[in-house]
């Protein structure tokens, strides 16, 4: 029976490789299902014969309590970027300065826009999979990676130990299908394929990961015991023969001119691919020559990433809508024919302000060229004047607010046009949404849909009215039952105890962001004291200039704002900084720098915690820095910290340090 089970496993592995990696199935889906069903039945009957590399082990196990950390044996360095032919030539010049001409050749590979992963195999069996993290320490996602069909659980020609690096991604077609399914279920859709891959890989429940269409490309050999491999071309062939999915579009070239040709070819052809690529990775081919070139603290000197310009698409402006923000700023927004760009469908783009719209000469009905600024935010680059028919219409600056009809004003020295009505429903809605947001009063469940109904039904006229809502009020809202209404009331009640700094930020005082709000709260400790301050006394604080001081004084001179504050106090909302900063403990009087993205905290929340425990947050690393807290995808601050010998904390270590302060 053991032999039959092994034969079934080998047969299924062969078909997995042909189906998922080569995309050339040898049997029908039904025949494959029959093989897998037989293997499952035999393993159920003989559980002592179940092996970790069996194809049946891809379904995902029980949920994990959390991810453990893994220290990479070989650091996963990031790459320097090149954005032009000149920068590629300069990269080549630096290599020519250290190597002889016969040592120089390059391998060009497409840069996959996914999530970096390191895989470790022992005696041919997958034993570990870890995210890149900060390049030195990542997260153990082995159970999740086991569910990815293109990642082999067993190598074809086992070696004692093998470590490889690759990219986890979701194909464009799979991304569209995944979002369509989530939309049909009423679930939030993903912004782009990379985000969906990252979110799917970091699920604590491997069964969720198993349900997502994740794929992989493996492109680098970090460590191997056994074969003598001399160059990157041999690396890719070795990986392919071991059963890894290797992107077939790589090319070995002899000169930087050929590198440029490859980059230009795939810049034009990238739309043919069923996965997102944002550039080309250029690697020195001979491995021995790489050792001569060496590495910096952050990146290898023997490789660079040529980044493609942002993808551009043509579409047509159907209409221009006006949106009114919480400070009354009126922003024109282009509503366009939907177009797929950068992995997501775009149908709206801010035109920012009327001066810029006039400068670009953007009109209703125009065909326009759009891209994603920073590969994230949709932006109209320019109108396609050559496509105009004469039917396009310039869009005038409104004289009246599009929502309440109040006069539109413009302050001297500003580009923004504003609604002059402080009671404008649109301004009120945006103010309420901001007030309830996570970085402000953090009222869970108080989103735009709820706020719209509260204002439209005249249940709320200002932010203080939120604290006078009843269960009966909330039960009148659409799609709000007893449980949802009760949870929302509890969230409103919980927000009453937020620190004074949160309240000051939430009130939306112009130029007073989270940092300034914390400074004011720490310095004066009572909103009534802050309300009486003069511009001169405020400007005694080094971080507060004339513009902020004038804005704070102006806010507290408005009777309507003072009335709102009195209502908040009457409702029991905290308006004092109750606890002084801690002067003893691991963070007291320490300077910390944050870099990268934290998983459990926003940047504002982390800053708030540090300051609450007596520390301060700096925006730059220097010899006076006590700790650097490094999340995922950290920047150059991490490199500088290592150069200066400053202690670097992972998010987990940072949270442990806070516990020591509690």
Q: What is the CATH number of the domain that holds 52?
A: 1.10.287.610
What pLDDT score does 489 carry? 94
Q: How far apart are CA 332 and CA 417, in angstroms?
A: 10
**Stretch 569-589: mean pLDDT:** 79
CB 302 within 8 A of CB 283: yes
Tell me the two tokens of residue 74: 């070989």
Residue 271 lies in a domain: yes
Model pTM?
Answer: 0.52
Residue 64 lies in a domain: no
What pLDDT score does 478 carry? 92
Residue 586 lies in a domain: no
Torsions phi, psi for 323 (to 5 deg): -115, 135
Rounded mean pLDDT of the chain? Answer: 88
Q: Is the pLDDT score of 139 beyond 80?
A: yes
Residue 416 lies in a domain: no
What pLDDT score does 133 carry? 84
Regarding whether 316 and 298 lie in a shared domain, the answer is: no
Query: Would you name the residues annotated as active-site residues?
Result: 111
Q: Count structural domains, the chain.
A: 6
Regarding whether 113 and 133 lie in a shared domain, the answer is: yes
Strand pairing report for 418-419 and 408-409: antiparallel
Regarding whether 152 and 287 lie in a shared domain, the answer is: yes
Residue 612 lies in a domain: yes
- Spell out the long-range contacts of 468-471 with Cβ–Cβ below 8 A and sequence spacing 24 or more: 468/567, 468/571
Judged by average pLDDT, the poorest of 165-169, 268-272, 333-337 is 268-272
Q: Which of 173-182, 462-471, 638-647 has the highest mean pLDDT?
A: 462-471
CATH number at 640 reads: 3.40.50.10190
Tell me the two tokens of residue 411: 């302050």
CB 182 within 8 A of CB 196: no
Residue 263 lies in a domain: yes
Regarding whether 448 and 300 lie in a shared domain, the answer is: no
CATH number at 433 reads: 1.10.150.20
What is the length of the chain?
662
Could you read off the pLDDT of 376-387 as tens digits, one per residue?
678 899 999 999
Could you read off the pLDDT of 583-597 as tens digits, one per residue?
667 888 889 999 888
- Spell out the long-range contacts of 130-134 with Cβ–Cβ below 8 A and sequence spacing 24 or more: 130/70, 130/72, 131/201, 131/202, 131/632, 132/76, 132/632, 133/69, 133/72, 133/632, 133/650, 134/596, 134/630, 134/631, 134/632, 134/634, 134/638, 134/648, 134/650
Residue 266: which domain range?
70-307
Q: How far apart are CA 512 and CA 413, in angstroms?
A: 19
What pLDDT score does 580 carry? 55
Q: Is the pLDDT score of 579 beyond 60?
A: no
Regarding whether 363 and 477 lie in a shared domain, the answer is: no
Regarding whether 385 and 286 lie in a shared domain, the answer is: no
Regarding whether 291 and 253 lie in a shared domain, the answer is: yes
CATH number at 243 reads: 3.30.470.30
Regarding whether 175 and 270 lie in a shared domain, the answer is: yes
Regarding whether 163 and 38 lie in a shared domain, the answer is: no
Regarding whether 324 and 389 lie in a shared domain, the answer is: yes
What pLDDT score does 278 carry? 87
Q: Is the pLDDT score of 157 beyond 80?
A: yes
Regarding whether 149 and 230 lie in a shared domain, the answer is: yes
What pLDDT score does 61 carry? 54
Strand pairing report for 591-595 and 616-618: parallel
Regarding whether 265 and 202 lie in a shared domain, the answer is: yes
Residue (of 14, 199, 208) closest to 115 by Cα position: 199
Residue 478 lies in a domain: yes
Could you read off the pLDDT of 34-62 as tens digits, one per residue?
777 788 787 777 777 777 777 776 655 55
Residue 375 lies in a domain: yes
Could you read off the pLDDT of 501-557 as tens digits, one per residue?
999 999 999 889 888 998 999 889 999 999 999 999 999 998 899 989 999 999 999
CATH number at 375 reads: 2.40.50.140
**Stretch 347-368: mean pLDDT:** 94
């Amino acid at each position: 029976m053991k032999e039959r089970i092994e034969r079934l496993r080998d047969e299924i592995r062969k078909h997995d490789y042909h189906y998922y990696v080569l995309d050339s199935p040898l049997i029908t889906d039904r025949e494959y299902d029959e093989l897998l069903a037989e293997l499952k039945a035999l393993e159920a009957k003989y559980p002592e014969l179940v092996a970790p590399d069996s194809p049946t082990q891809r379904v995902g196990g029980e949920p994990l309590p959390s991810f453990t950390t893994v220290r990479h044996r070989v650091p996963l360095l990031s790459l320097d970027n090149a954005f032009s032919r000149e920068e590629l030539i300069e990269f080549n010049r630096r290599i020519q300065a250290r190597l002889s001409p016969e040592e120089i050749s390059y391998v060009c590979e497409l840069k996959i826009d996914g999530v970096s992963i390191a895989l470790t195999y022992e005696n041919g069996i997958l034993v570990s999979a870890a995210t890149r993290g900060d390049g030195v320490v990542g997260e153990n996602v082995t159970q999740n990676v086991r569910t990815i069909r293109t990642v082999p659980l067993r190598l074809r020609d086992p070696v004692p130990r093998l470590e490889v690096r690759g990219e986890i991604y979701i194909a464009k077609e799979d991304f569209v299908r995944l979002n369509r399914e989530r939309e049909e279920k009423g679930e939030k859709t993903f912004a782009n394929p990379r985000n969906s891959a990252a979110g799917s890989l970091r699920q604590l429940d491997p069964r969720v990961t198993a349900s997502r269409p994740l794929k992989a490309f493996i492109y680098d050999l970090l460590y191997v015991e056994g074969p003598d491999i001399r160059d990157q071309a041999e690396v890719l062939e070795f990986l392919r023969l071991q059963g890894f999915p290797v992107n077939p579009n790589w090319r070995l070239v002899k000169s930087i001119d050929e590198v440029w040709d490859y980059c230009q070819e795939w810049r034009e052809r990238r739309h043919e691919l069923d996965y997102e690529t944002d550039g080309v990775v250029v690697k020195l081919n001979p491995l021995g020559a790489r050792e001569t070139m060496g590495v910096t603290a952050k990146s290898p000197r023997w490789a660079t990433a040529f980044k493609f310009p942002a993808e551009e698409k043509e579409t047509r402006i159907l209409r221009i809508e006006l949106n009114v923000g919480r400070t009354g700023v009126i922003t024109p927004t282009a509503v366009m024919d939907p177009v797929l760009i950068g992995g997501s469908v775009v149908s709206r783009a801010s035109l920012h302000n009327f001066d810029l719209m006039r400068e670009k000469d953007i009109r209703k009905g125009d065909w326009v060229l759009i891209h994603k600024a920073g590969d994230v935010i949709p932006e109209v680059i320019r109108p396609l004047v050559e496509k105009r028919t004469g039917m396009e219409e310039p869009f005038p600056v409104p004289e009246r607010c599009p929502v309440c009809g109040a006069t539109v004003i413009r302050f001297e020295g500003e580009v923004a046009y504003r609604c002059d009505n402080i009671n404008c429903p649109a301004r009120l809605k945006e103010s309420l949404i901001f007030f309830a947001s996570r970085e402000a009063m953090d009222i869970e469940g108080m989103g735009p849909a709820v706020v719209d109904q509260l204002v439209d039904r005249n249940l709320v006229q200002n932010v203080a009215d939120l604290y006078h809502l009843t269960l009966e009020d909330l039960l009148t809202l659409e799609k709000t039952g007893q449980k949802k209404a009760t949870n929302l009331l509890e969230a409103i009640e919980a927000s009453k105890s937020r620190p004074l700094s949160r309240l000051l930020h939430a009130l939306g005082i112009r130029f007073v962001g989270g940092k300034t709000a914390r400074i004011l709260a720490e310095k004066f400790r009572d909103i009534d004291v802050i309300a009486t301050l003069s511009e001169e006394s405020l400007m005694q604080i080094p971080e507060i200039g004339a513009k902020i001081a004038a804005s704070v004084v102006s806010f507290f001179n408005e009777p309507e704002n003072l009335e709102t504050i009195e209502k908040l106090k009457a409702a029991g909302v905290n308006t004092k900084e109750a606890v002084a900063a801690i002067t003893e403990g691991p963070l007291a009087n320490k300077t910390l720098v944050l870099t990268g993205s934290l998983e459990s905290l926003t940047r504002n929340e982390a800053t708030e915690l540090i300051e609450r425990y007596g520390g301060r947050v700096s925006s730059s690393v220097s010899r006076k820095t006590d700790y650097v807290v490094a999340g995922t995808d950290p920047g150059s601050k991490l490199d500088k910290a290592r150069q200066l010998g400053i202690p670097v904390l992972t998010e987990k270590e940072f949270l442990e340090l806070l516990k020591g302060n509690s």
